[in-house]
């Protein structure tokens, strides 16, 4: 969604993840970038170079925090030190919203450092929504949750992933970071129609969108963030923008990271969709975004 | 009621499988060390699909877990790897990470218990026990010096007012080491060849990524004293005299300046008449580096992790 209470009433356009190999380029060339997303954990430290770089970036750019280890879905209680460090970083960055994943990753105080999938049960809805509220109350910044890529499903699940996501965010009254690449990856791994997912989620809660590249193996797809965005993911993105309107969009590129220009150029392809959605009157948005989509897809050599 | 009985059980069962060591071929073992069948466990909790069995789906997570930990640990301890060689390092890494799984939200702390663990498991670093322990001390000190807090430096007025009973505070990023081997030059070389440090991300890895770490030739023992510190946000290893090491260590332990000076010179070869000048020079150098601060580090963020 454009400005809403889940993204601090901001109108952010296209951003990219702030990654170490690009530090030098960004600080010396000062390229025009809509905003940067940082991985919170990399800056939840007491001092040193990462914070020095962050402060320099903050002088010039808008920064949004993205976490990887809050584990809303873990039954383990929240870690107080983690919360305090997150809040202190949020004060430093003045992030209008902050995100983390709809997943679990620790149990009995032991951390897997992975984004493990949830069993989609009512019990899990309750646990997860409660923890999201706790984080939001503590950090005092809107919290949005991101759907993850997954490679396994549980026997005990009582609903689909999109129903689970919707139940959680309604109960927590929080926003969504809709990762359309993750939806695509999971749809291939679990044989569902990704458009059913995008069409189901409460569009008014979408605060931000992630796009990324993935890797296809013989029997499954892995969320590697080491490629340009694939045509199928652009198609899902187009549909998400049709439903949500021009929403803050971020390209994730975490491995085999190419030059800054290449990453930024890939991200900026999203602008076509965003402009089409912004310029078109509400009831004409769908055809306008569709035509932007077909232009990009022609470019990438794939037709709709 | 906690309302989390079933969820907790699933998380415990899945974590037990995911955090269990892989086979030498980096696959999920069919049977765990305690005899539990991963096949039975996977089928009990995970649904198969048309392409993958429950076991294969669980295995994806088992492998991801270890690949992530391996790469973080390898980036933190390239010096240790260069001493032990790849195979012994691998065995040590699996054993340590199995015995001491992460208890912190941050991968930065993954190696925090390595020194103490090696103290009780020297078989993994034999026959280079002292050399390897020295290297681990230096590598952990490097990690701590990199991102610990920097406090405001002491002002000239406060510095002038220092007397025998004063307690001086050192920068929280300073780590003092007394080592039996000159591992500092070796680590500088290894780190410059090995590249940058780990950062958290949220992507998956298709395979285990290995970096090239050169095996070192034998290193002759020689006692050295080091201050691992930070200057303009780079980590440095500063060689110290034994006296400097003793004085700084006493100050770090919170002793008064008078006591620290006594300890510093208790077995020193520096002639008595040269000591005042020696002290003045040492303090001037430390003050110039910004090592002496007006306060101790923040305590509000320290704690459970
Ligand atoms: Fe994402």
Does the beta carbon of A123 lie under 8 angstroms from any beta carbon of chain B?
Answer: yes
Contacts of A84 in chain B (CB under 8 A): 300-301
Rounded distance from Cα A107 to ligand 1 centre (Å) = 23
Q: Do B200 and A49 touch (CB under 8 A)?
A: no
Q: What is the pLDDT of residues B12-54, one digit of tens each?
A: 999 999 999 999 999 999 999 999 999 999 999 999 999 999 9
pLDDT in the model for residue B216: 72
B111 at interface of A, judged by CB pairs closer than 8 A: no
Kindly report the nearest CA distance between residue B104 and chain A, in angstroms. Answer: 7
pLDDT value for A34: 94
Helix (H) or strand (E) holding B225: strand B224-231
Asked if A47's CB is within 8 angstroms of B49's CB, the reply is no
Whether A123 and B51 lie within 8 Å, measured CB to CB: no
- Check residue A3 and give its pLDDT: 85
Q: Is B68 on the interface with A (CB under 8 A)?
A: yes
* Three-class secondary structure assignment of chain A: CCCCHHHCCCCCCEEEECCHHHHHHHHHHCCCCCEEEEEHHHHCCCCCHHHHHHHHHHHHCCEEEECCCCCCCCCCCCCHHHHHHHHHHHHHHCCCCEEEECCEEEECCEEEEEEECCCCCHHHHHHHHHHHHHHHHHHCCCEEEECCCCCCEECCCCCCHHHHHHHHHHHHCCEEEEEHHHHHHHHHHHCCCHHHHHHHCCHHHEEEEEEECCEECCCCEECCCCCCCCHHHHHHHHHHHHHHCCCCEEEECCCCCCCHHHHHHHHHCHHHHHHHHHHCCHHHHHHHHHHHHHHHHHHCCCCC
In this prediction the ipTM stands at: 0.91
Banded model confidence at residue B204, pLDDT cuts 50, 70, 90: confident
Q: Which residues of A touch B229 (CB under 8 A)?
A: none
What's the pLDDT score for residue B161? 84
Which pLDDT score, from 0 to 100, does residue B157 have? 83
How far off is chain B from A95, nearest CA to CA, in Å? 19
> Which pLDDT score, from 0 to 100, does residue B304 have?
36
pLDDT at residue B224 in the model: 97
Is B303 within 8 Å of A82 when comparing Cβ atoms? no
User: Cβ contacts (< 8 Å) between A190 and chain B: which residues?
Assistant: 49
Enumerate the residues of chain B whose CB falls inside 8 A of the CB of residue A22.
none
Structural domains in chain A, CATH included, are 5-273 (3.20.20.150)
Instruction: Tell me what pLDDT residue B159 has.
Output: 80
pLDDT band at residue B192 using 50, 70 and 90 as cut-offs: confident
% of chain A with per-residue pLDDT over 70 = 91
Residue B60 C-alpha to ligand 1 middle, in angstroms?
Answer: 19
Q: Does residue B269 surpass a pLDDT of 60? A: yes
pLDDT score of B298? 57
* A271 CB within 8 Å of a chain B CB: no
- The CA distance from B164 to B260, in Å, is 9
pLDDT digits (tens, 9 = 90+) for B60-107: 999 999 999 999 999 999 999 999 999 999 999 999 999 999 999 999
Q: What's the pLDDT at B301?
A: 47
Flag whether pLDDT at B262 surpasses 70. Answer: yes
pLDDT for B1 equals 38
Q: Give the mean pLDDT of chain B.
A: 90
Low-confidence ranges of chain A (pLDDT < 50): 282-284, 301-304
Does A27 contact B at CB distance below 8 Å? no
Q: Residue B47 and residue A155: Cβ atoms within 8 Å?
A: yes
Residue A266: the pLDDT is 92
Instruction: Give the predicted TM-score (pTM) of the model.
Output: 0.91
Position with higher pLDDT, A200 vs B205: A200
pLDDT of residue A291: 63
Residue carrying the six token digits 């699933």: B10
Give the CB-side neighbour count of residue A197, counting CA atoms within 13 A: 26
């Amino acid at each position: 969604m454009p400005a809403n209470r889940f993204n601090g009433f901001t109108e952010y356009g296209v951003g990219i993840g702030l990654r170490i190999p690009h530090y030098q380029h960004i600080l010396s060339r000062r390229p025009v970038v809509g905003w940067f997303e940082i991985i919170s954990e990399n800056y939840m430290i007491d001092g040193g170079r990462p914070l020095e770089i962050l402060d320099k970036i903050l002088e010039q750019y808008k920064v949004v925090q993205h976490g990887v280890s809050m584990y809303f879905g873990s039954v383990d209680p929240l870690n107080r030190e983690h919360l305090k460090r997150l809040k202190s970083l949020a004060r430093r960055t003045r992030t209008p919203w902050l995100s983390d994943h709809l997943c679990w990753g620790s149990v009995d105080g032991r951390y897997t450092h992975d984004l493990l999938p949830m069993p989609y049960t009512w019990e899990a809805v309750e646990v997860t929504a409660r923890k999201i509220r706790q984080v939001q109350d503590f950090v005092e910044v809107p919290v949005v949750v991101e759907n993850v890529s997954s490679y396994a499903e549980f026997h005990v699940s009582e609903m689909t992933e999109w129903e689970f996501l919707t139940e959680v965010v309604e109960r927590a009254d929080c926003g969504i970071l809709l990762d359309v690449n993750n939806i695509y990856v999971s749809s291939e791994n679990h044989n569902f129609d990704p458009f059913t997912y995008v069409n189901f989620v409460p569009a008014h809660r979408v605060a931000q969108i992630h796009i990324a590249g993935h890797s296809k193996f013989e029997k499954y797809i892995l969320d590697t963030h080491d490629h340009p965005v694939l045509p199928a993911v652009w198609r899902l993105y187009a549909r998400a923008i049709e439903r949500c309107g021009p929403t803050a969009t971020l390209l994730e590129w975490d491995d085999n990271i190419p030059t800054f220009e290449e990453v930024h150029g890939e991200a900026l392809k999203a602008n076509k969709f965003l402009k089409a959605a912004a310029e078109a009157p509400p009831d004409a948005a769908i055809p306008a975004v569709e035509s932007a989509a077909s232009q990009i897809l022609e470019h990438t050599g794939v037709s709709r | 009621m906690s309302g989390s009985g079933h969820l907790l059980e699933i998380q415990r069962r899945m974590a037990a499988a995911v955090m269990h060591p892989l086979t030498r071929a980096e696959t999920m073992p069919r049977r765990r060390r305690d005899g539990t069948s991963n096949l039975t466990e996977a089928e009990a909790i995970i649904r198969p699909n048309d392409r993958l069995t429950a076991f294969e789906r669980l295995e994806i997570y088992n492998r991801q877990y270890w690949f992530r930990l391996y790469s973080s640990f390898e980036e933190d301890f390239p010096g240790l790897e260069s001493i032990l060689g790849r195979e012994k390092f691998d065995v040590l890494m699996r054993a340590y990470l199995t015995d001491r799984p992460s208890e912190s939200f941050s991968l930065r702390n993954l190696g925090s218990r390595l020194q103490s663990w090696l103290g009780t498991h020297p078989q993994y670093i034999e026959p280079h026990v002292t050399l390897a322990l020295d290297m681990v001390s230096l590598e952990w000190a490097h990690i701590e010096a990199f991102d610990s807090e920097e406090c405001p430096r002491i002002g000239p007025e406060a510095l002038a007012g220092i007397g025998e009973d004063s307690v001086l505070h050192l920068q929280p990023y300073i780590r003092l080491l007394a080592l039996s081997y000159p591992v500092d030059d070796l680590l500088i070389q290894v780190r410059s060849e090995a590249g940058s440090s780990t950062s958290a991300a949220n992507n998956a890895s298709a395979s285990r990524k290995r970096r090239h770490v050169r095996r070192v030739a034998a290193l002759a023992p020689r006692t050295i004293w080091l201050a691992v510190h930070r200057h303009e946000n780079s980590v440095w290893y500063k060689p110290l005299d034994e006296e400097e090491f003793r004085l700084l260590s006493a100050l770090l332990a919170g002793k008064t300046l008078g006591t620290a000076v006594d300890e510093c010179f208790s077995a020193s070869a520096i002639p008595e008449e040269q000591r005042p000048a020696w002290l003045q020079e040492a303090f001037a150098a430390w003050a110039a580096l910004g090592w002496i601060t007006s306060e101790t580090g923040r305590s509000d963020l320290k704690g459970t992790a």
